Amino acid sequence: MVFYYKGCDSVFIGEEPIHIAAGADIAEIVVFPGDPLRAKYIAQNFLENATLVTNIRNMSGYTGMYKGKKVTVMGSGMGMPSASIYTFELIHYFNVKKIIRIGTCGAVNPNIEIGDILLSSKVYSESNFAYTYNNYPKYVVNANEFLNEILLKIAAAKNIKLHLGMLTTMDVFGPYIDYERVLKRIPKEYDILGEEMEAFGIIHVANSLGVEATCMATVVDSKYSKVVLTPEERETTLNDMITLALEAIIK
């Protein structure tokens, strides 16, 4: 069967997802780390009765309970192409209503320190992702204000420092290039706090399909610091951000 879907002008063939197990028990609310091992860590340490519901290409997704609410936590992979695939399939095939990305990023602002948590109000990208996806001509997407308000209130109540501001999503891993070239091309009116690789794509697909989505990212490297968290630290020492996402997604 050939069918069209809202939010994009493409044609898809088939009625089942390709990258998530068909019939998987996916909740309507999703916490979305990039790393499938981080999804496993969250499922094992934060959810009750968590079950592995999809593992195609080892992109693990778990569904369990958090404070009496059904929640799915699933990896998105690295970069907008991967993250956008899973975002679309979660929404289109599984009727997901809310997505909070939790990831890592590099700081590009001197007021941001290693270990700080950034919350996207908007995301800038010079990528053609959105134009290719559905002819969206702009380079900025807006995160969901309702989710952000909840996250800010919970962070204040728990005395967790949370920076609300603009992120930039790049097509390459920043530390491996001279990303000063990219930063210099960003319009001066945009005060960028951090750079990462997925938020723009996730938020754009969600916005196009009428779903609430935002992004949090813990700073793990900075152009202003020589401190860099190890892969193990990245996987396991992001508990404040995980807690914020889970508390907000169930509201």
Selection from 36, 65, 37, 33 nearest residue 51 by Cα = 65
Catalytic residue among 25, 35, 221, 240: 221
- Yes or no: say if 92 and 49 are a contact pair by the CB < 8 Å rule: no
CA distance 50 to 112: 34
- Yes or no: say if 169 and 162 are a contact pair by the CB < 8 Å rule: no
CA distance 165 to 125: 14
CA distance 4 to 150: 34
Report the relative pairing of strands 61-66 and 69-74 from DSSP bridges: antiparallel
3-state DSSP assignment of residue 63 = strand
CA distance 116 to 240: 10
CA distance 77 to 83: 6
CA distance 108 to 36: 26
**218 — alpha (psi -120 to 50), left (phi > 0) or beta?**
beta
Token digits of residue 244:
């914020």
Instruction: Specify whether 221 is catalytic.
Output: yes
In order of 66, 132, 177, the CA distances from 50 in angstroms are 10, 37, 39
Which residues does the annotation mark as catalytic?
221
